[in-house]
Amino acid sequence: MLYPPTMRYRVKTSRPEGEVAIPGSKSHTIRALVCGLLAGGESAIEAPLDSADTRSCLAMVQSFGAGVREESGRWIVSGRGGRPVVPDDVVDVGNSGTSLYMGLGVAALAEGISVFTGDGQIRSRPAGPLLASLRDLGCMAESTRGNDIPPLVICGRMKGGRTSVEAHTSQYLSSLLLAAPCADGETRIEVPLLNEAPYVAMTLSWMDRLGIEYKNDGMKRFVIPGGQSYRPFTGSIPADFSSAAFFIVAAAVTGSRITLKGLDLADTQGDRAVVDIVESMGARVERGERAITIEGGTLKGGTFDLNAIPDALPALAVAGCLARGETRLVNVPQARLKETDRIAVMRSELSKMGADIEEKPDGLVIRGGGLKGALLHGHGDHRVVMALSVAGMAAGGETTIDTAESAAVTFPAFGELMSSLGADIELLED
């Protein structure tokens, strides 16, 4: 459920231990919904993540003509065969940046004008490179205020052609890749800059699975024939490594032992690298079949390139605070372009807890030494709220984090699952 927008987490020193089932991947669920819309016939998405972000995407694909039927543990999507309809109203994606960017590609396939907006955070998210590429491919694509941020207006239909996109966020490229097979003609995409490559690999895995043809030259250039159709599908959504990261770090920094069920280390999700990172820092890891056990120990710092996994920065910043020596989180400038500027926000909030933390243009430098409880601002950012909650478990005293309702964007059950493991975390209403 979605919490009312006046909530706080109160967290005290604790050691969460036991087993927990991790919910489905947000990134996979959203791609499945978009592919279901673009496919012909019915597709069945089993074990989807049910969160505010995925609900935003579900509403978005419905606005473009998809039929969605919810059954126990699955969503059935009736697709449009690559021919979305023009929405009857403005498309409001809430807080979901992924739904915004993927939706722009969908809108490029509709024969008419679509308008996108979202909450305050979404209305600060840049879209200029994606808009420019959509124009290259035959669409009208503009910001209503001429500043490349929502509200955005798209008018299709995508013809194909040539474009070059600097993918400061991988979602620019994923949007183009998902839409291009349904364009009228061939699309050629040059990619001079790509952050978050594993998320593009995830997009390509869906295209492979659903019979889409393309040529990929080392993620630097793509050739996608037009006039293709996505096959309908039935498939289960794997557990979310991005959500699991908070439990992984919680075990590592509190010295506890947590088994995470449902995780597949062979999946394309980039955030599976968090397992290797905490292991290199000194946590003990047991890898099983769709289960991973993390046991905390004495942690040491290190240098970690997070370009492929920017969503892991908040949780790993907490790990750095509880590690000996210096931890450097580097090469992740796109973390400033998420729901918040997560580099600045994590420095600010962890500093309130006594952290010796330095902000760099592309990351953080953290000198471990422990944390103390404090009153913290969650900035309405789900990953910041959850990371600071984990910090509170390892800190001395009591920690309070506001805007706790934002955890529901990707992980509505976060607090409940942590509490079930013995974490001293309580949801409070102001």
Last residue of a domain, one of 212, 236, 260: 236
User: Are both 75 and 205 inside the same structural domain?
Assistant: yes
Last residue of a domain, one of 173, 207, 236: 236
User: Are both 125 and 176 inside the same structural domain?
Assistant: yes
Q: Which two tokens stand for residue 383?
A: 């990953």
User: Are both 288 and 354 inside the same structural domain?
Assistant: yes
Cβ atoms of 76 and 84 within 8 Å: the answer is no
User: Are both 217 and 264 inside the same structural domain?
Assistant: no
| pLDDT of the residue at 46 | 97
Note whether residue 141 is domain-resident.
yes
Note whether residue 2 is domain-resident.
no
User: Are both 279 and 381 inside the same structural domain?
Assistant: yes
Domain containing residue 412: CATH number: 3.65.10.10
User: Are both 372 and 280 inside the same structural domain?
Assistant: yes
CA distance 373 to 383: 19
| pLDDT of the residue at 429 | 87
Which one, of 214, 267, 273, 209, lies nearest residue 32 by Cα?
209
User: Are both 267 and 344 inside the same structural domain?
Assistant: yes
| pLDDT of the residue at 5 | 53
Rounded CA Rg of the chain = 21
CA distance 375 to 230: 49
Note whether residue 160 is domain-resident.
yes
190, with CB counted inside 10 A (0-12, 13-18, 19+), is middle
Cβ atoms of 265 and 292 within 8 Å: the answer is yes
User: Are both 201 and 248 inside the same structural domain?
Assistant: no
Give the residue numbers spanning the domain of 245: 7-24+238-429
User: Are both 134 and 259 inside the same structural domain?
Assistant: no
Last residue of a domain, one of 236, 264, 285: 236
User: Are both 218 and 245 inside the same structural domain?
Assistant: no
User: Are both 222 and 244 inside the same structural domain?
Assistant: no
Note whether residue 95 is domain-resident.
yes
**Per-residue confidence of the chain (430 residues) as pLDDT tens digits?**
344 457 999 999 999 999 999 999 999 999 999 999 999 999 999 999 999 999 999 999 999 999 999 998 999 999 999 999 999 999 999 999 999 999 999 999 999 999 999 999 999 999 999 999 999 999 999 999 999 999 999 999 999 999 999 999 999 999 999 999 999 999 999 999 999 999 999 999 999 999 999 999 999 999 999 999 999 999 999 999 999 999 999 999 999 999 999 999 999 999 999 999 999 999 999 999 889 999 999 999 999 999 999 999 999 999 999 999 999 999 999 999 999 999 999 999 999 999 999 999 999 999 998 999 999 999 999 999 999 999 999 999 999 999 999 999 999 999 999 999 999 999 998 7
User: Are both 400 and 283 inside the same structural domain?
Assistant: yes
How many domains does the chain fold into?
2
Note whether residue 368 is domain-resident.
yes
Cβ atoms of 350 and 391 within 8 Å: the answer is yes
Note whether residue 1 is domain-resident.
no
Task: Clarify whether 264 is annotated catalytic.
Answer: no
Catalytic residue among 53, 92, 271, 311: 311
295, with CB counted inside 10 A (0-12, 13-18, 19+), is middle
